[in-house]
Amino acid sequence: QKYTEALGKIGTATNSKIVLMPFEASSLIGSLGGIGEIAKEVFRSEGTTGSQRQAARPPVVRPTDN
């Protein structure tokens, strides 16, 4: 947990960064990358469903002046 907190602080810093990672943190980084890919896929799927719902709505018909 301390590694992820530290990486968050390093990532938000405005200066140039060189990060030396301890070996045990490399597996954590791999896990975070995998979680990120899963989240992208889930949100991409939800986005497609939302656009399909929007396309299924009937068109808006506005009254005309006669």
Alpha helices by DSSP H, 14-60: 23-55
Per-residue pLDDT band at 66 (split at 50, 70, 90): low
- Give 7-32 pLDDT, tens digit per residue: 778 777 777 767 666 666 667 777 77
- Give 46-62 pLDDT, tens digit per residue: 655 544 545 566 777 88
- ∠ CA 29-36-12 to the nearest 5 degrees? 65
According to the model, what pLDDT value does residue 47 have?
A: 58
For residues 2 and 8, the answer to whether their CB atoms sit within 8 Å is: no
**Residue 17 burial by CB count (10 A; 0-12/13-18/19+): exposed, middle or buried?**
exposed
